Structure formats: C-alpha cells, structure tokens
Structure 1
C-alpha cells in the first residue's frame, strides 16, 4: 500500500518538476507537499547539516536588523536555490554547497520604517515559452519590494530584465500620499500565470480610516505593462481603505484563475463608516488571471471588527468528499476555521451555517447579526476562553495579574465586539493559522497546519481621550484617525511575562477532511532559547510559519526556538530536531539534488516577537557513508526528549518561572513583543 501511495503521489505531481520547489507553496496551488521519500521516519535521525549560507545582513544592515523578519521560502529553480532577504536582495545559491551564484540588490531605502517590518516572504519564477531557449530573461524571477516596486530578473544571472517596465522594474502608483514612507509595502511573493504577474500589498493597520486602497494589481510578465487592477471594496457610500491582499495568493493555470485571501477594511476595530458586510473584504476571491474579472467570492467574516482577515494562502486540492472527487479551495483562518469551497463556484462543499453572534457594539457601529460557521470540519483551535483556562504554573500563588486584566472586560465568546470597557479576543488576532498557511497530503487527504494560541485584550478609547496617549511598552496603540475611537491591543500576560492562557501556545494539527475530524495535535517548540540555563519547558511557541509534508511520511516545521523539527505524519510524534543558529520562523522546503534529498529553512529570527536575529539559510541531508550526525542534529528517542517536564521539583519550577518571566518581560518591553504577536505579518 505504501508503494502504491507513493506512486500515486508521483503521478499527481507529474505535471510539475518532480523534485523541485518552483513555487512559494511548493506548487501553484500551495499544497506544500513533496513526492520525495528518501528521508523517512526510520532514517530521519541520520540528518546532518549540509550547509549554511549567511546573507551578510547582520553586518551590512546592522542598524536596521531590529526591524527585520526573515520569512522567505526559497525556490529550487534553474538548478539554484533562489530567495529574497528582508531587504529584498535576491540571492541564488548552489543547491549542494550553499555557495552564492549571483546576487541582486534593489537598494531599497533603509529609512522608510516599514509598518510591517522589513520582510520578503518569497519570489516567483516564470518561464516565457515564447522566447528562444537561450534568450536572456526567458526564465524570470519576480519580486515585490518593501518600497512598492515589482522587479523582474533573469533567473540564471540575476540581471534585471530591461524589457520589463523601466529597466526591469515597475513602481506602483499607490493613489494617495502616505502618512509616512513605510505605510505601504509588498511582503508576499507575486503570482505569475498565463503571462500575467499579480501582486498584492501590505498596508499598516489602525492608522486611519482613509487608508490607501488595497488594490490588487496585474502586469504583463514580459513588458510590465498594466493588465488590470481590482479593489476588494466598493467605495460608493463608504469611507474605508485597505481590504488588501497581504498574504500569498494561488493560481490555477488550467482554469485561468487566481485566488486571493483578502483582508479586513480599515480600521480594524471600528467600522461605523463602512456599513454592511464590506463587499469582498475578508473573503476568498477568484478572479480571471488575464482580465481581473470577478468569478466568485466567499466571505468568511461579515463586517470584520476583530482583525480576522485571511492571512493564509488558499490551498488548491482535489479531494474525495464521499460523493466523488472534486477540485476545491481549502482556506484556514485566524479563528481556526477551515472552509472548503468548490473551485469553480466558490460554494461550500460542506454546509456553512449563519449563526447568531454577540451584539452590543460601540457607538456608531453596525455589526452583522450572524457569522458563517463550517459544520463538517471542527475548529483547529479553541474559540472560548474563561478563567478556568488561565495558566497557573504555581497554583498556590495563582495568577492575580491575569485575574485583574480579565475582570470587567467583555468575554462572550467568539465575535464579542470591541468595547470601551475592553474585550477578550480569542483566538487572538494573530492566532489560528497565519501566513504560513496549510499543507495538504493528496494521498491521504489530510490537512496539516501550524496554529497559535493566546488571548488578546482590545479596548476602544474615545478619540478625545486618546490625544497624547502614550501606552506602556508591549501595548499596541492605533490612532484610527477619522474614527471616533482609537484602540489598544495587548496579549494578556501574567506578572511573570507568560501568557495568561494555559499552554500549549503552538501546535501542529492534522485534520482528516473526509472524516471531518482532527487526527492528532502535537506541541511545537519549547522555552529552551529563552529560559535560564537552556531549560526546555515543552509549552509550545506561537507558530505563524507553515510546514512541508513529504511522501516519506514526515512533516517539517520551524518554531520560535532555534530548531527545525520533523514529525511523523501518521502519528504526530516528534522524531528529530536540527539545531539552527537562530529561530527559523519561515516555511521550510525540500528538494532533490544529485540523488540526495535536502530540507532547507531560512533561519533569521523575527524582530517583532523578540527572538534572536540572524541572516542564515540552513540545509540538512542524510549523512553520507562514514559521516556521523553532528551536534546540530538529534533524535527524540523518548517521551519528552531532553525536556524537563511537569515532574520538575517545585522549588526549581518557582525559580525558573520567576527568572523566565523576568527575562520575557524585559524582552517584551524592549521589543514590544505582545504588540507584535497581535498581527504577526
């Protein structure tokens, strides 16, 4: 059976290069599935570090590194590993050695102070089948930049394609002056299909009602000439901007469709000037790739005032629903929902119910009385938080600081509206599934996704009271100019600097689509890189990044500690850890080079959440004959591995929690961690 399953997987992927990684999500539909099976649960413990490449950013951009997040997923194209740095440098490496082959620097401004940090999640690859075999720029690399450019490079040399736009680039016309240069940027990889390159945008949250429009733009992949533009919002009769597409998109080449995960309109937490359901905001949208014509749209949140935009790439899959095979779009959300939609019509494959949700909005607000709830698939994360769910590592002492924060605030479950008294938002606005997106195993019809758990406290503040307000460190403050309320947002944290909700704070989940049930959950990440003496409490870490799954039966993922991990895809058991120089808060990928399978991840940390910062890309492969696994690799050979666990002596636990909390709290103040976890773009 296993041999047949692998053969089936290879046949499914026969239309794409079998051993490459040509798209940000592995394939154009973002399944993050690889048919490679050389590395298996039986031999994963033999992985060794193959090579490490450093971009040099720590030296060349030392002053800006505190505003970076290295979230890139490299491509394996043109016999090269190709990726972008947080500063939009595009770099090509030798797949076997990690040696640099070429490099292109667009020289973005380092004074723009981008609202969502310096970030570049990836690039796109496209081959012009109308060009001569050896013509320059027959194979192209496309990238969107932090300063709102679209750049085209020769995929073999890194030289700009002079026939694209002006000397290889197109500068976006944003349509209005920016509040500051970094209010508008592009952070996710473009999509290229049918000779058209499509880009979204990332626009700073909660700055103003009249934010820049979240227009999706398309250009001719050869000339750079505009092809079409599309705005998720109908601006007739409303005052709002944004509703952009900051997350990665997907494409169906055969159907000629591009799939967009759209965001909420501006501002996030008060929408009185945008009455109604906000058109195609918070929606999965299908457009004609060549014309931008709207084909269908499905809204996952009506009139969003919780910052529950769609952060994940729509996953295109073919599934057995029980009534035959269907082409679908799988869309996970921050709330932990998984919507499965017919790819041609956008209609739910299984029923979605409109259910009544809490009301009683702030003055001037007009909430939707209902919200959509999938019925067949369970939520991937809890959606209700109560005092019984508080984390009390020292039960004798309890968590009085958490009790004080949660007292008197509104907490009526999912979709409790923001209020002037304060409101619990759970899952938090960076919870559930984030930009790392889901992965899909086409053989076993299983979805795998990383998820995050934390409690947000959001409070509306009348504008007149917000003038001159200086919130304490770790509290996100949004002026929401043009609205009658400003806002504050913070993760509910104890006096020890630990989240108020019980761990785990990050899990990997396996979901059986056909059966409609969760097969397993596994905690991912520990406190090892933050606790004194390297003590590793297996409490999990928030997981905004995604996973890669393989026909070899493994799931690979990074976390907010400095390890790449491998899990058994069938059982969820953690099997292996590969040490990284700093946390790899990016999506891993895998490829075959000269007969050897490699697993690779960008390891640069994440300044918003207070990790250590670096500039590395690290690749692992199986040990060759006579080559022993190094200190960089270890097998988890007993429950808990090196983790100290819950049986630790009480006295030691008290010391660790207090010291750990002090360190985390200090880091929160310096890095404003709780504010960052809120959006985690």
Structure 2
C-alpha cells in the first residue's frame, strides 16, 4: 500500500496561476534553463536571503547502495503556485511555492535491496489533460519514473495515483528490454519523461560495462491518459527488416553482428521537445561495453548521437552521431537545448548540444545539418588486439570548453613538491596522445575524463545576449584494459585501491579506471579543475571563462583556496542578468553576472548542491530554488534540503 500524505485543506484546487511557471525539467520542453524574471539583478543580488527550507527526510535509510550511490539531483517544477519534485528513493512531493509547506507526498515503495548502479532522479513532469474537466481527478498529472524502472502518474492536486493510467497508476518499464535477474537494479530511469502533447517519452539508465549483451536502450512513448505504449525506437537496429532501417540504409554484416550482441546506447539524459514541429530530440549514450568495441565493429549508429523522432509516431527524422565507435564512455549526456539563433541576419531554429568531450555542437533542428561546421579529423589508432577504432572523429569548429591536449610529465601538479614528483612518474608511465587516445593495457590517460567535459547538467541559455553558459570539468582519468586471465588476480591483489573494476563480460578484456591523482588525492594536473564558461553563439567565440568553486570541503586546510572545483549539476540564467549555479564540491550556491562572468554572490549551504537551480515568481517575489542533498560518488556533504532564496523584504 502506497502512502499518501495530504496537507490540511488542500484537496479542492491548486492556487491561481503565477506570472511565470517552470513547467518542465529545463523550464519548458526546450531545455533552455532560463527564467524570464528580472526582480533579482547584479545590483541587488547581495540582498538575497534564505526564504524557506524544506527537508525531505530521505537520506537513503535501508537502501543497500545509499552510501556509495545516493544523490539528490532534482530540479523542481512550479505550476499553479505549487512546487513538484521527487527523490531517488521514490518519493514525490508537492510544496507551497511561497512558503515551502508540504501539500502532499507520495511513496512509490522502491525496493531497497537492489544493487542500483545509480541512485539518482532529476525531477518530475507535469501534464494538463485538455479533454478533461478542470475539476476532474487527474486532470493535471505529475509523471515520474523510478530507479526500479516504473512510470507513475499522480493527481497533481492530491498526490493520489491515477487509476486509469497503466495498472493502478503505474507502468512497468523493465519488460521487453532483455533484463536478467542478475541485473536487477541496473536498468533504471533517472531523468523525467519528456511531455509532447498527450505523449510521455521515456529513456533509461543502464549500468555500464558489465558485458556486451546488456539491456536494450529503447526509447518508448506512452499515452498520458491510459499508459498504453504507443511506439518504441531502438538506437541499435536489431534486424534488417525493422522500421528503423530508414535511418540505416546500409545495414550490413557488421551491423547484424552488433545487433546480436550489443546493448545500451540508451538515452539516460533528459530529452527535449519542439512542440511546434512535433519533434522529440533524443541524446543517446555509448553501446555496451564502453571501453572495448571489438565485438561491436562499426560506428554503432545511432549510439552517441542526437536523434530527432516524430513525437506522435516514433518515426526517425534525422540523426547526427557525435562519437564514432565509442571507446571512452563519451555519452551524449545532457539535454539538447532548443534555441532561436540569429546569425547573418536570419533566425535559425537551432539545437545546441554540449558533450562530455567539452565540445559544443550546434545543429539545425529541422534538418540536423551543422550551423557551425563539424569536421572529421584523424585520431590516434594504437589499439589493443581485436579492436578496430574509427579512423576519424567529429570535431565542432566552435572552440572546445576544455583542453584536448595530451597530458605530459611536465604538466604534473601537486599540493607539495613530493606530490608533484609522484604525479610526474605516474604520467610518464601512461599513454597519452590527446583526446580519443584508445584504452591500452598499460593504462591510458583519458582527457577529458568520462565524467566530462560537460555532464548531465548541460548549460543554460541567455536569449537576450545569445550566450550559452555551461559548467565544465577538467579532470583526467586513467583507463586500463585487463586481459581476461588477469582480471580476477588484479582485482584481488589489493594493489588497486580506489580503482573501479568492470568485467566487460563477452570480450577478451576487463577494465579498471580511476582519477589521475596524486598520493594526497589531488588531481595530477594544475587547476582549475572546474570552470563556468560563456559561449557567444552569435559570434562563435568564448565570451568569458571563470574558475568555478574552490577546494574547500574536499582539501585539508590550508589548501581551501584552490580555484576551480570539480562539479556535477547545471546552471540557471535569468532575465535579470544573473547565472546561478551550485554543482561544485564545495557547499555553495553562487551567482555570476552573465554579461561579464563576475562572481557577485555566494551562499553557504548545509550540503552539496549537485543539482540544477530553477526560478519562479510567487506572491510578487522572485525565488531561486535548489536541491542540496550531496552526491555519494562525488563525496560531497549529504543532506535532504530544498532551499528557496528571495530578496530580503524591505523593513
């Protein structure tokens, strides 16, 4: 039995609609993460103060993976004066947007003993049934997906499950995706559904690197009234007769081989929707396994791509692959951003895609053709036996937001002279030829690392200035392939403390990887390890680049003032000329002047804000809200906070 908690007196109707509402994960389906509100400006942001705090009580109690996997990454929605969000533990909440008081909560009763690869959920979705009477039950619905792969529909007024949706309000998503009993908890949904008319489109998150034949990365669409599946699309064609062949006219023997074995290529990041054109844009990930592709020869389209589908039918419209034959876990990891870009006197309906490689790709969203040219450039070819790499990779002609250069011994950095020398020795023993250096037996430096560059937080768009603002990381990782006979002995040797091992079953090699770091735990290259960067897309240039965050909360004193920290989360821009971002490993929320990049405000938080802020107006006040719950894999301070900030009232 699911528990529903109703606040007193809140069951009849939602409050009157506010001036601006945040109705989808990225603000709306376009994913711009921009609030057209100007009450808070660089001139008065110093008066910003904590307006209210809400605590979810969700700290992962009883979950087997909470200690090393739990995060709080949600971006709330605000519709009709109510905030809606969820947690990775399967709880959904509705709060009064002006006061933070609880209106209802719903518990999906997510199993606690599964070996979840991720414990994350980035938010919920909202839908209004235009055919229903406004007072009818479930006329407005909150849709959210769980880490045990269920899609749930709730009445936005009461939090009660919508009985007419699926079976008693939910649809099981783990059917028909090749999930094995030994993989329970490895097929999940961590991003909110994309809402396109009366259709919910859902991707999936699949645990990486266990083997070749992992779960299928199908994208599926469901009727928002009944929960009935309307269509599905697999990035990897499974037979020569399937409808997706229109996207793969040269389906051949190599494709048939990968279709038998390969899984994943799943869309785990949020999707974007062009309501006017009836298109849904799907960012896909790497095929399985990530770091050896000898059993999946070829480019593996449409993995590592941006794909446009008809939202109503799932029909393939166009695709653009951003990494060929991925060997680096370089997923398309963030929501595509749909913007109207003015260039050479004309307005282009553009799609902006940030990437783990730190590149910015800009495409015409009607055709998929590059707005800024994309070049195929030769990349390193020194591979292990059995691997067949792509001879070239796509490079955007926009400036990259992170370095693609090799890491050399002279680049070594450390907190002390001894630390730096140790890094110099480690770098000298590893292979590094710059971006797209293939994994090796001795160990390869991957720069940028598989966490980015840019990760799921993506960027934010300032339409007045034509600025794309993004937080990125400059962290090198080490990846080594391990011959099958040596895999278990290496794993059990005790010589690789701090390394992540993965079996890559079905291939000749296992894998191990870790951050390239010194004996004291600092990255082996000089800071900044994290930046906030603004790209002028009218000119195609970087407008400014600033270190983001500090080493506080991660490094021991007196090393708190190192500028530029690792970060996970995303930014928010506002019409007031501000960019808000948490994301960093220190516990702060910051505001920057969007025009100049100057840091104009900081607020100490009780936990890490590895989430993306949002903003809305209620009762005549502009609020900025962020989830602060920490990130287990990042090692940031844990918590269960939703924090709202507004300008101090005049006294």
TM-score normalised by structure 1 residue count:
0.87
Unaligned runs of 5+ in 1: 1-15, 627-681
Q: Please say if residues 57 and 65 of structure 1, whose CA atoms lie closer than 8 Å, have aligned partners that are also in contact.
A: no
Counterpart for residue 249 of structure 2:
none
Counterpart for residue 471 of structure 2:
450
Counterpart for residue 592 of structure 2:
567
User: What is the CA-CA distance between 1:323 and the residue it aligns to?
Assistant: 4.7
Tell me, in whole angstroms, the C-alpha distance in 1 between the residues paired with 2:647 and 2:274: 34
Aligned to 1:373, which of 395, 398, 420?
Answer: 395
Deviations 1:606-638 (A, max 9, x none): 011111211110010000123xxxxxxxxxxxx
Counterpart for residue 608 of structure 2:
583
Counterpart for residue 233 of structure 1:
236
Tell me, in whole angstroms, the C-alpha distance in 2 between the residues paired with 1:41 and 1:534: 31
User: What is the CA-CA distance between 1:350 and the residue it aligns to?
Assistant: 1.9
1:170 and 2:190 correspond: no
Shift in CA distance, 373/159, structure 1 to aligned 2, threshold 3 Å:
same
User: What is the CA-CA distance between 1:415 and the residue it aligns to?
Assistant: 0.6
1:416 and 2:466 correspond: no
Q: Across the two proteins, how many residue pairs are aligned to each other?
A: 608
Tell me, in whole angstroms, the C-alpha distance in 2 between the residues paired with 1:533 and 1:483: 45
Counterpart for residue 629 of structure 2:
604
Shift in CA distance, 61/465, structure 1 to aligned 2, threshold 3 Å:
closer
Shift in CA distance, 359/63, structure 1 to aligned 2, threshold 3 Å:
closer
Q: Please say if residues 523 and 538 of structure 1, whose CA atoms lie closer than 8 Å, have aligned partners that are also in contact.
A: no
Q: What does 1:247-646 align with in structure 2 at a 5 Å threshold?
A: 247-375=269-397, 377-384=398-405, 385-394=407-416, 396-397=417-418, 399-468=420-489, 469-470=491-492, 472-532=496-556, 536-558=560-582, 559-626=584-651
User: What is the CA-CA distance between 1:453 and the residue it aligns to?
Assistant: 1.0
User: What is the CA-CA distance between 1:29 and the residue it aligns to?
Assistant: 0.6
User: What is the CA-CA distance between 1:366 and the residue it aligns to?
Assistant: 1.0
User: What is the CA-CA distance between 1:540 and the residue it aligns to?
Assistant: 2.0
Shift in CA distance, 63/417, structure 1 to aligned 2, threshold 3 Å:
closer
TM-score normalised by structure 2 residue count:
0.91
Tell me, in whole angstroms, the C-alpha distance in 1 between the residues paired with 2:19 and 2:305: 32
RMSD between aligned alpha carbons?
1.6
Deviations 1:63-115 (A, max 9, x none): 76423100000000132111001212000011111110000000000101201
Counterpart for residue 246 of structure 1:
268
Give SS of 1:609's match: coil
Tell me, in whole angstroms, the C-alpha distance in 2 between the residues paired with 1:175 and 1:369: 32
Unaligned runs of 5+ in 2: 1-16, 239-255
Q: Please say if residues 554 and 569 of structure 1, whose CA atoms lie closer than 8 Å, have aligned partners that are also in contact.
A: yes
Give SS of 1:464's match: helix
User: What is the CA-CA distance between 1:400 and the residue it aligns to?
Assistant: 2.3
Q: Please say if residues 609 and 627 of structure 2, whose CA atoms lie closer than 8 Å, have aligned partners that are also in contact.
A: yes
Shift in CA distance, 58/115, structure 1 to aligned 2, threshold 3 Å:
closer
Counterpart for residue 98 of structure 1:
100
Give SS of 1:129's match: coil
Tell me, in whole angstroms, the C-alpha distance in 2 between the residues paired with 1:99 and 1:65: 27
Q: Please say if residues 98 and 618 of structure 2, whose CA atoms lie closer than 8 Å, have aligned partners that are also in contact.
A: yes
Q: Please say if residues 527 and 534 of structure 1, whose CA atoms lie closer than 8 Å, have aligned partners that are also in contact.
A: no
User: What is the CA-CA distance between 1:232 and the residue it aligns to?
Assistant: 0.4
Counterpart for residue 158 of structure 1:
159
Counterpart for residue 184 of structure 1:
187
Shift in CA distance, 433/59, structure 1 to aligned 2, threshold 3 Å:
closer
Counterpart for residue 213 of structure 1:
216
Counterpart for residue 108 of structure 1:
110
Q: Please say if residues 427 and 455 of structure 1, whose CA atoms lie closer than 8 Å, have aligned partners that are also in contact.
A: yes
